[in-house]
Amino acid sequence: MTEISSDVIRGYNDTMILYLLLDQPSYGYEISKQIRELSDGKYVIKETTLYSAFTRMEKNGYITSFSQVAENGKRRTYYRITEAGIQFYHDKCDEWQLTQEVVEKFITH
């Protein structure tokens, strides 16, 4: 079966995460589930990939974090997208269009 390799999705993990933060803050486990569901199980992000993406994006100023006790009594780290993050996300969407156009020229159907 065809699978999505890490080399291919590399560079779009951040974009996917940011997309899921556009509406409201969220946290690791939730984001992970949403990526799996939205992609119909075709893509499952690794935990280490996800949490290192959070760290990187916070350092880059694309997200901010805050700790909060959830309904279930557990302490979670939530992430909120910043203005810079929104801008970055939109730039990535533009880049995706361009990438598609280019790669398509080298693909046979």
- Taking CB under 8 A as the criterion, which residues in 26-85 touch a second copy? 38-39, 42-43
- Burial string for 57-84 (b: 16+ CB within 10 Å, else e) reads beeeebbeeeeeeeeeeeeeebbebbee
**Both ends of the chain: CA-CA distance in Å?**
17
Question: What, of a second copy, DNA, none, does residue 24 touch, CB below 5 to 8 Å by kind?
Answer: none
**28 touches, from DNA, a second copy, none (C-beta below 5 to 8 Å by class):** DNA
Binding-site ranges for a second copy (CB under 8 A)? 2-5, 7-12, 15-16, 19-20, 38-39, 42-43, 90-91, 93-96, 98-103, 105-109
